[in-house]
Amino acid sequence: MKNYVLVTGGAGYIGSHTCVALAAAGYTPLILDNLCNSSPKVFERLARIVGGPPPRAIEGDIRDRQFLDRLFAENAIDAVIHFAGLKAVGDSVADPLSYYDNNVNGSMVLAAAMQSAGVKTLVFSSSATVYGEPERTPIPEAAPCWATNPYGRTKLMVEQMLTDLHSADPGWNIGLLRYFNPAGAHESGLIGEHPKGKPNNLMPFVSQVAVGTREYLTVHGNDYPTIDGTGVRDYIHVLDLAEGHVAALRHAKARAGLFAVNLGTGAGASVLEVITAFEKASGRKVAYKIGPRRTGDVPASVADTSLARSLLGWQAQRGLNQMCVDSWRWQQANPNGYDD
């Protein structure tokens, strides 16, 4: 029997790229996804990238305990990388119960099923959103954690729940990975991010303006205390992020206990710098208008990456230009995402 790494949410944006990185590192992913924000077409695309048959994928929900118990009983699963959840900040304000249910309850049901099955190695998708409004950048992992919206609170609650679980049973090995701003796509152009409806995040919005789906970008404020007045973020290539998960999994499997690590590049880029980089990568003009600040936005969010380097031996390899080139390739080849 194969030893699987269970990848919840493995059909999604970051999960699918992580399946590529896992396969490249010799692991066998087993994808569990309810496809609420992804397409089954990703499986065939993964097969084309990795070579060979598609990864094993099972449609199901992390909130379904009986289903999870069967899954663990019927498959040799060594470890879990847990991406499944909802991620739109605005939706979490409008519909908090769905967020607490999918993200908090879902993680609790998953952890309980893992405990029953004796699988105690877990890598969890957290977010830089747990730093709330950071006092300074770059942000170290020891910075105070608090959340400014329901989505952020779900991530913080799951971090706290898993920390309590590890205190109660130090046999658990748990990586809490705090992602900064994922961007880009696989260099093949076969997998990438295609948000349903109007994108909330900058990079998909910019690429939809470049491809002509949207007329212009609204820049949310140009009066921040930053290099050009627009918001600064630490954009990280999704494949670097994926490789960070492999490094974290290796570390967790070496019985590392509980660890929280930032996954970012350590370099910030402003909204205007992203626009310029995207114009260069695409050869297209990205029209924009300056608008007011967006409620809840912070001026700057950039990772202190020293712990990721020393603990995981991992650091991002790809820069903003590569993120734009790869996003553009994906966007052009798949203007409707995975839909025909």
**Catalytic residue positions?**
151
Residue 244 lies near ligand WQD (rule: CB under 6 A): no
What is the closest distance, in whole angstroms, from the C-beta atom of residue 271 to ligand WQD in the complex?
5
3-state secondary structure 81-133: EECCCCCCHHHHHHCHHHHHHHHHHHHHHHHHHHHHHCCCEEEEEEEHHHHCC
Write the binding mask 113 to 132 for ligand NAD: x where contact by CB under 6 A, - elsewhere: ------------x-x-----
Residue 75: contacted member of ligand WQD, ligand NAD, none (CB under 5 to 8 Å, by partner type): none
Among 38, 102, 129, 282, binds ligand WQD (CB under 6 A): 129
Could you tell me how many residues make up the chain? Answer: 340
Among 27, 83, 99, 224, binds ligand NAD (CB under 6 A): 83
The residues that bridge with 190 in the sheet, in sequence order, are none
Residue 61 lies near ligand NAD (rule: CB under 6 A): yes
d(CA 230, CA 272): 7
Residue 239 lies near ligand WQD (rule: CB under 6 A): no
For 139, which DSSP code?
B
- Using the rule CB under 6 A, give the single segment among 47-55, 107-115, 215-223, 261-269 that binds ligand WQD: 215-223
3-state secondary structure 248-266: HHHHHHCCCCEEEEEECCC
What is the closest distance, in whole angstroms, from the C-beta atom of residue 156 to ligand NAD in the complex?
12
d(CA 13, CA 192): 6
Question: Could you tell me which of 139, 158, 146 has the C-alpha nearest to residue 304?
Answer: 139
Residue 37 lies near ligand WQD (rule: CB under 6 A): no
For 333, which DSSP code?
H
d(CA 336, CA 308): 35
Contacts to ligand NAD from residues 282-321, by CB under 6 A: none
What is the closest distance, in whole angstroms, from the C-beta atom of residue 217 to ligand NAD in the complex?
17
Among 9, 10, 29, 231, binds ligand WQD (CB under 6 A): 231
Contacts to ligand NAD from residues 168-207, by CB under 6 A: 179, 182
**Which helix (DSSP H) or strand (DSSP E) does residue 77 occupy?**
strand 77-82
Among 15, 132, 184, 221, binds ligand NAD (CB under 6 A): 15
Cβ-based burial of 39 (10 A; exposed 0-12, middle 13-18, buried ≥19): middle
- Using the rule CB under 6 A, give the single segment among 39-47, 103-111, 218-226, 303-311 that binds ligand WQD: 218-226
77 touches 50 (CB < 8 A): no
What is the closest distance, in whole angstroms, from the C-beta atom of residue 235 to ligand NAD in the complex?
10
Q: Which residues bind ligand WQD (CB under 6 A)?
A: 87, 89, 127, 129, 181, 200-202, 205, 217-220, 231, 233, 271, 294, 297, 301
